[in-house]
Amino acid sequence: MSAKQLVIKSKYLILLISFISVFSCDRTKEISSINTENWTKREAKLNANDSLEYGKSYLSIYSQIYSMSEHKTHNLTSMVSLRNTSDTDTIYILKAKYFDTHGKLVRSYFKGHPIFLAPMETCEIIIDEIDNTGGTGSNFIFEWKTPINCPEPLFEGIMNSTVGQQGLSFTTQAKRIK
C-alpha cells in the first residue's frame, strides 16, 4: 500500500469515527430548556393578603412554520422573554403554561410556586429547534401579579433559525387577556 493510499484511508477512518461519535451521542437530553435550578432560585412566597394586581397574558409563538406548502414545515428555536418593565418594583409570575396548536397543554413551567423578577430583570424560556411538539400554532398563557400602579410585565417571543448562510427571525408580543 502506498503512502498516498494510507493517507486517504486514514482520512476516511477519521471521518467515519467523527460521524459515529456525532450520531451516537446521548439523545435523551431534554428538548426544551427547563432549567429547574434557575426557577428554584427565583421562587417567591406570596402572602394572600398582599395588595397585588392580577393579570393574565396570551403569547403566540411558533416552534414550526410552513415552508413552500402546507405539507412542509420548518422547525424554529423559540425564545420566550419574560420582562419586568418596572424600574422600582418586583413582579411575580404565577404560571407559565405552554400549549400546542390544538390547545393541548405541552408543559408548565415553575410548577407549584410563583417566581419573581426584580426591577428591570429579564428571564427566558427556550424551546429548542428540535422540539416541534408545539407545532405551527403554539402559545403560552402567563398569570402574574404586580404591585398596584406598577407597569405590567412584557412577554415576547423571538423565533429564529439559521441554515448555512440563510437566516430567519421574527418576534411576537403578548396580549393581556385578563
Per domain, the residue ranges of the chain are: 50-176
DSSP states along 125-141: EEE-TT--TTGGG-EEE
**Ordered per-residue pLDDT tens for the chain, 178 residues:** 666 666 566 666 565 555 555 444 444 444 555 566 667 777 888 877 788 999 999 999 988 888 878 888 888 889 999 999 999 999 999 999 999 999 999 999 877 789 999 999 999 999 998 888 998 899 999 999 999 999 999 999 999 988 777 888 889 999 999 9
Provide the pLDDT for residue 15: 58
Provide the pLDDT for residue 104: 96
Q: Per-residue b/e over 34-70, b at no fewer than 16 CB within 10 Å?
A: beeeebeebebeeeeeeebeebebebebbbbeeeeee
Decide yes or no: CATH 3.40.50 for domain 50-176.
Answer: no
Asked if residue 139 lies in contact with residue 60, where contact means CB atoms within 8 angstroms, the answer is: yes
Q: Kindly report the pTM of this predicted structure.
A: 0.76
